[in-house]
């Protein structure tokens, strides 16, 4: 019917209408075919869209499953570490750092791990390793918390071994406060079992889900729909609306389940499905985010915990499908007929439209050229701030292709965009023509760009925006502010002048340095601060350097406003314009006057002894070297004197360093007063001084200097009300007789000084070559003595002590001997002085006490009657050693078998003058039960008053007084007085060196208590003592 009507119209129509009729028929056919194709294409597109959404949901579910599997396996692997299990079973403090290092290592190589923690079986946190910025930190003390209140610790202690408990996803919370920046966390916990003992601890991993959620966000953001991730209570774990997302995690009462209760009920029943409605298609999948983590490969998490992946396809995405349905109905035919009528109208305007379109195309090409060539980014936005058009510079600014901008909302891409465009309101409403503001754009690579936005409202309802990257301008502003801050706050003075040298500006530091005010300097020339210390050549070289190199750096003397001249370190630079002409000079000035003073003091300190003001060892070495050079050139001798103060160490150790230092200052002044003004005096350190005398006529001149020094130092020195006598031993070496080099001459003087000290102190000695040989022997003896202690070459001999009333053995004195492998048996005089000088005396003294106690225990085991055993003590033992502790330890070694009362410790009178420490040591020995005897009594200078206050039980008369008895009147008087005095004080008396019967009879007549000497017996080995004592058949009970 349509065909016949078409033919009739064709036959009866004019040529123009026949053309229109044919055109309409063909158009109708084309539209019908087009609608059919549109329908099929829309249906196919809708199918693909639904399939893609299902694929994205399934892919996201696999992503979460894989991530949680990896976390679970990693935690279980860590819990099986043997060192961690041993620590859990026996948490010792020593192994705690090892476990901390294991956890820190795992944290270091796993950037998403925030903390690893270990709780013991009582729920107390023992170890925590976490992140603090870029560092790995081990927490201790107050930072460790009670863990039993945490659900993940409590639940982990109730699950089977090899299982993992996983908490719900929440934000990181410490001390009840959510940490910023917000970081979603998942906590995984596994118990550590130890056989039948059960749970010994819990290992907890705090995992930052930020990266997993970011990966999930990147995957879901590619969906056509609006993807959501919900937890088991309907809260948003992910949403493209980030405000909605974070408010949900922060605890706001906003949930999908409350907004869509009917859909939520369906989701609880069916784990997956699709819901169609007026607002589109909603697809959902239920997932268990914690699969395969227990020993049975089953999840262990909070009860009924499930997440839901949801995608909503908006109604506009279904529009094409509805158009296809409409085309399949009668509406399609009506649309086709209407299209025919429209085509008739369009045909009339065709030519006009083509011409207009051509003109429009040319106009658009010109506009596009201007748009793309513009230096600024240009955006065209609709009223909702969706991008309608963007030029190439905008794509470059945002770091995205045009397709990613056009058709998308710019609100999420640019913070503060609405304020920048609307200026606080709608353009139509408030009549805004244009608005300028600044916003921040964040590129996909994370770079933040400051942008200046100039916007204006167009009459067609669109907004036009011009965006300019102002990063360079901002950086320039920051640079200017930094330069201004440096200018105002630096400690160096800064002067800025013009090209003619007139001061344009100065900073506050220069005002402080120069003393001028700013108004006094502006317009002046920097020469206002010239000191007058530099000549014309100095300033000529300065300007020449500025002209040739553009800068000058150096030290300069300037003058302050008050006239004071000061040293400065100055850096002057030229500032040139584009054509190379000098515009400004900038000078940076540092006041180094304090540094100059410090350098001067350092030079002084480097060459001067701080205590006495004399030259120190370093400076004296240089002075000696120069003196030898002069002596060699002019051919005259010189003398080098080394002084060592006698008994100074004793004073320093007993009275304190403060007294010792003041005494050294007195000695330094005495030495300076005794020598010539041209002689060099130095303190080498401690109590050693030296004098360098040049151009002496003969060795006798050096002796005169030494004698003057000895006499001056023997005079008493008053200090704090006390009188001190500090004699010195002096060694003298002569150039060139004894040595020609500084080191050899110093060594010779030192050797001579030691010889003087060994000859009785308070004397002087000239160096001889024989002294070097003796020094070598002394050093060899010291080395051999050290080896003797190791090889057990020392031994004790014993000299009996006899009761003079019945001539029976009442005790023995222990005397040390050295069985030298080459020189045979050596008496104490052959090695004890060396031991005293080398401080070996303490080791030897300790050995003597230990050996004496051992031997006494052996004698007692043999049934020897009780006797006294006397041990000699050195002054160094009492001052620098710990004799009571050595004695106490030796007695304890024999379980109380050896009594302290069996021992007597002999000391000389001079030791009793050594100070409080020596006396305190003797008093402690006496309190332990031992007795104290003064050896060689009569050779010292003890007063009766002093003697009565000392812990003394026995006096031993020196053999020098016994030797002259009974014929030497002086000796008789001394011995009689000593015995009488001792008995009156309740002390016992032993006479040493009894060798003749007449001496014995005289001592008996004076009621002397005991005696020892060759008349009775020489010193014997320990094996002979038993027979001697038993032969005497006398037992003396211990008191």
Q: Is 976 helix (H, G, I), strand (E, B) or coil?
A: helix
pLDDT at residue 228 greater than cutoff 60: yes
**380, 387 contact by CB (below 8 A):** yes
Q: What is the pLDDT of residue 46?
A: 66
Rg of the chain over all Cα atoms, to the nearest angstrom:
54
Pick the CATH number of 352-460+467-474 from 3.20.20.140, 3.30.450.20, 3.40.640.10, 3.30.360.10: 3.30.450.20
pLDDT tens digits, residue range 659-692? 889 999 999 999 999 998 889 999 998 889 999 9
The pLDDT assigned to 327 comes to: 47
Q: Give the model's confidence band at 245: pLDDT under 50 very low, under 70 low, under 90 confident, else very high.
A: low
Phi, psi of 761 (to 5 degrees): 70, 170
pLDDT at 418: 67
pLDDT average, residue stretch 213-223: 69
Q: For residue range 276-293, list pLDDT tens digits in order.
A: 776 678 888 887 665 434
* Least confident segment among 84-93, 850-859, 920-929: 84-93
Quote the DSSP letter at residue 719.
E
- Given a contact cutoff of 8 angstroms between Cβ atoms, the answer to whether 87 and 95 are in contact is yes
The CATH number that domain 490-597 falls under is 3.30.450.20
Q: DSSP secondary structure string, 956-974?
A: EE-HHHHTTTTT-HHHHHH
- Whether 628 and 735 have beta carbons less than 8 Å apart is answered as yes
- CATH 3.20.20.450 domain range(s) in the chain: 782-1032
| Position with higher pLDDT, 60 vs 475 | 475
Which of 189-203, 210-224, 478-492, 765-779 has the highest mean predicted lDDT (pLDDT)? 189-203
Q: For 922-943, what is the mean pLDDT?
A: 82
Cβ atoms within 10 Å, residue 975 = 26
User: Among residues 76, 88, 98, 54, which one has the least CA distance to residue 159?
Assistant: 76
- Top-confidence residue, 778 or 793: 793
pLDDT-derived band at 658, boundaries 50, 70, 90:
confident
For 582, what's the count of Cα atoms within 13 Å in the CB-facing half-sphere?
19
Q: Rounded mean pLDDT of 768-773?
A: 72
Check if the beta carbon of residue 730 is closer than 8 Å to that of residue 761: no
pLDDT at 180: 61
For residue 999, the model assigns a pLDDT of: 92
Query: Across residues 578-586, what is the average pLDDT?
Result: 90
How far is Cα 257 from Cα 310, in angstroms, rounded to an integer?
12
Beta strands in 788-888 (DSSP E): 794-803, 808-820, 824-826, 868-872
- Give the strand order in the sheet containing 680-685: 680-685, 688-694, 638-645, 728-735, 764-766
pLDDT confidence of residue 64: 76
Question: What pLDDT is recorded for position 587?
Answer: 93
**Side by side, which strands form the sheet with 307-313?**
236-239, 226-230, 307-313, 280-287, 272-277
How do residues 944-998 score in pLDDT, each as one tens digit? 556 767 789 999 998 888 988 888 888 888 899 999 999 998 999 999 999 999 9
pLDDT at site 348 = 54
pLDDT tops 60 at residue 12: no
pLDDT in tens, 595-633: 877 777 776 677 788 898 899 998 999 999 999 999 998
| Residue 881: closest CA among 846, 833, 909, 920 | 846
Dump pLDDT digits (tens) for 688-729.
999 999 988 888 888 899 999 999 998 888 887 788 888 899
Q: Is-contact 237 307, C-beta < 8 A? A: yes
Q: For residue 357, name the pLDDT band (cuts at 50, 70, 90).
A: low
- What residue spans in the chain does CATH classification 3.30.450.20 cover? 80-208, 212-316, 352-460+467-474, 490-597
User: Is 317 strand, coil or helix?
Assistant: helix
The pTM of this model reads 0.39
Q: What is the pLDDT of residue 951?
A: 85
Long-range contacts of 921-929 (CB under 8 A, 24+ apart): 921/878, 921/883, 921/884, 922/878, 922/950, 922/951, 923/951, 924/884, 925/883, 925/884, 925/887, 925/951, 926/951, 926/953, 928/884, 928/887, 928/888, 928/900, 929/899, 929/900, 929/901
CATH for the 608-767 domain, from 3.30.420.130, 3.30.750.24, 1.10.10.10, 3.30.70.270:
3.30.70.270
CATH architecture, domain defined by 212-316? 2-Layer Sandwich (3.30)
CB neighbours of residue 430 within 10 Å = 11
Per DSSP bridges, beta strands 173-174 and 808-820 are unpaired
Task: Provide the residue count of the chain.
Answer: 1039
Mean pLDDT score, 347-376: 63
CATH class held by domain 782-1032: alpha beta
Whether 60 contacts 309, CB under 8 Å: yes
> What is the chain's mean pLDDT, rounded?
80
CB 615, CB 680: distance < 8 Å = yes
How deeply is 470 buried, as exposed, middle or buried, from its count of CB atoms within 10 A (0-12, 13-18, 19+)? middle
Percent of the chain at pLDDT exceeding 70:
77
Which range among 160-164, 201-205, 435-439, 1027-1031 has the greatest average pLDDT? Answer: 201-205
Q: Tell me the fold of 80-208.
A: Beta-Lactamase (3.30.450)
């Amino acid at each position: 019917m349509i065909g016949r009507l078409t033919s009739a119209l064709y036959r009866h129509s004019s040529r123009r209408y026949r053309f229109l009729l044919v055109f309409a028929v063909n158009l109708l056919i084309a539209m019908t075919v087009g609608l059919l194709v549109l329908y099929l294409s829309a249906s196919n597109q809708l199918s693909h869209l639904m399939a893609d959404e299902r694929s994205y949901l399934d892919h996201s579910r696999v992503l979460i499953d894989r991530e949680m599997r990896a976390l679970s396996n990693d935690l279980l692997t860590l819990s099986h570490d043997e060192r961690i299990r041993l620590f859990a079973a026996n948490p010792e403090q020593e192994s705690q750092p090892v476990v901390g290092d294991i956890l820190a290592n795992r944290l270091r190589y796993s950037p998403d791990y925030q903390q690893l923690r270990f709780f013991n079986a009582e729920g107390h946190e023992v170890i925590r390793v976490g992140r603090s910025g870029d560092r790995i930190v081990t927490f201790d003390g107050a930072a460790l918390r009670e863990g039993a209140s945490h659900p993940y610790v409590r639940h982990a202690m109730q699950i089977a071994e090899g299982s993992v408990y996983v908490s719900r996803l929440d934000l990181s919370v410490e001390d009840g406060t959510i940490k910023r920046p917000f970081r979603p966390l998942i906590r995984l916990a596994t118990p550590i079992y130890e056989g039948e003992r059960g749970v010994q601890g819990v290992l907890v991993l705090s995992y930052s889900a930020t990266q997993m959620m970011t990966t999930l966000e990147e995957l879901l953001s590619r969906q056509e729909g609006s993807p959501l991730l919900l937890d088991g209570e309907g809260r948003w774990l992910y949403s493209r609306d980030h405000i909605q997302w974070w408010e949900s995690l922060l605890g706001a009462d906003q949930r999908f389940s409350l907004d869509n209760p009917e859909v939520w009920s369906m989701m609880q029943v069916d784990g997956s499905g699709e819901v169609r409605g007026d607002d589109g298609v909603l697809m959902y999948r239920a997932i268990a985010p914690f699969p395969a983590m227990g020993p049975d490969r089953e999840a262990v998490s909070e009860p009924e915990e499930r997440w839901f992946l949801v995608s909503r396809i908006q109604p506009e995405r279904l529009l094409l499908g509805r158009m296809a349905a409409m085309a399949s109905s009668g509406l399609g035919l009506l649309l086709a007929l209407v299209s025919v009528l429209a085509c008739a109208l369009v045909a009339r305007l065709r030519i006009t439209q083509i011409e207009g379109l051509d003109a429009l195309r040319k106009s658009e090409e010109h506009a596009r050229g201007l748009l793309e060539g513009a230096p600024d980014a240009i955006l065209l936005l609709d009223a909702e701030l969706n991008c309608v058009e963007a030029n190439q510079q905008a794509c470059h600014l945002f770091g995205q292709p045009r397709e990613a901008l056009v058709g998308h909302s710019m609100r999420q891409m640019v913070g503060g965009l609405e304020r920048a465009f609307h200026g606080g309101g709608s353009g139509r409403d408030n009549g805004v023509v244009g608005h300028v503001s600044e916003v921040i754009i964040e590129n996909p690579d994370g770079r933040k760009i400051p942008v200046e936005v100039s916007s204006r409202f167009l009459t067609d309802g669109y907004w036009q925006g011009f965006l300019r990257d102002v990063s360079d301008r901002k950086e320039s502003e920051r640079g200017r502010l930094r330069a201004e801050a440096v200018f105002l706050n630096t400690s160096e003075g800064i002067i800025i002048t013009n090209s003619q040298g007139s001061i344009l500006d100065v900073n506050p530091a220069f005002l402080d340095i120069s003393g001028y005010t700013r108004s006094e300097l502006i317009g002046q020339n920097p020469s206002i601060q010239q000191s007058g210390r530099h000549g014309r050549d100095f300033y000529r070289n300065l300007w020449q350097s500025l002209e040739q190199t553009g800068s000058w750096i150096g030290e300069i003397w300037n003058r302050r406003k008050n006239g004071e001249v000061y040293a400065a370190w100055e850096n002057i630079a030229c500032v040139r314009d584009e054509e190379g002409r000098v515009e400004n000079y900038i000078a940076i000035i540092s006041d180094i006057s304090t540094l100059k003073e410090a350098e001067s003091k350092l030079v002084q300190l480097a060459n001067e002894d701080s205590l006495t003001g004399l030259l120190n060892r370093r400076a004296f070495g240089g002075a000696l070297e120069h003196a030898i050079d002069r002596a060699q050139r002019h051919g005259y001798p010189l003398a080098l004197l080394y002084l060592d103060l006698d008994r100074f160490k004793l004073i320093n150790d007993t009275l304190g360093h403060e007294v010792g230092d003041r005494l050294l200052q007195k000695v330094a002044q005495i030495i300076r007063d005794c020598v010539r003004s041209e002689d060099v005096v130095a303190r080498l350190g401690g109590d050693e001084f030296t004098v360098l005398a040049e151009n002496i006529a003969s060795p006798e001149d050096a002796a005169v200097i030494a004698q003057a020094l000895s006499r001056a130092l023997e005079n008493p020195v008053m200090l704090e009300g006390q009188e001190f006598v500090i004699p010195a031993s002096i060694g003298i070496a002569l150039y060139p007789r004894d040595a020609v080099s500084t080191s050899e001459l110093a060594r010779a003087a030192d050797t001579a000084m030691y010889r003087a000290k060994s000859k009785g102190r308070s004397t002087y000695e000239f160096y001889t070559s024989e002294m070097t040989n003796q020094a070598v022997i002394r050093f060899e003896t010291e080395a051999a003595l050290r080896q003797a202690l190791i090889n057990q070459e020392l031994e004790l001999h014993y000299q009996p002590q006899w009761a003079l009333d019945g001539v029976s053995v009442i005790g023995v004195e222990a005397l040390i001997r050295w069985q030298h492998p080459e020189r045979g048996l050596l008496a104490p005089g052959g090695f004890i002085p060396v031991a005293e000088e080398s401080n070996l005396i303490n080791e030897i003294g300790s050995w003597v006490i230990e050996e004496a106690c051992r031997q006494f225990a052996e004698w007692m085991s043999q049934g020897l009657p009780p006797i006294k055993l006397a041990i000699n003590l050195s002054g160094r033992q009492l001052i620098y050693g710990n004799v009571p502790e050595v004695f106490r330890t030796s007695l304890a070694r024999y379980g109380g078998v050896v009594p302290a009362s069996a021992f007597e410790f002999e000391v000389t009178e001079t030791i009793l003058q050594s100070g409080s420490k020596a006396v305190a040591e003797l008093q402690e020995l006496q309190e332990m039960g031992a007795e104290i005897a003064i050896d060689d009594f009569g050779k010292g200078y003890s007063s009766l008053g002093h003697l009565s206050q000392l812990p003394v039980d026995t006096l031993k008369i020196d053999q020098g007084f016994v030797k002259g008895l009974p014929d030497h009147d002086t000796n008789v008087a001394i011995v009689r007085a000593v015995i009488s005095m001792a008995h009156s004080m309740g002390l016992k008396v032993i006479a040493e060196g009894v060798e003749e019967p007449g001496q014995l009879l005289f001592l008996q007549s004076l009621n002397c208590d005991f005696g020892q000497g060759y008349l009775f017996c020489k010193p014997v080995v320990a094996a002979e003592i038993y027979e001697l004592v038993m032969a005497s058949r006398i037992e003396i009970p211990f008191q």
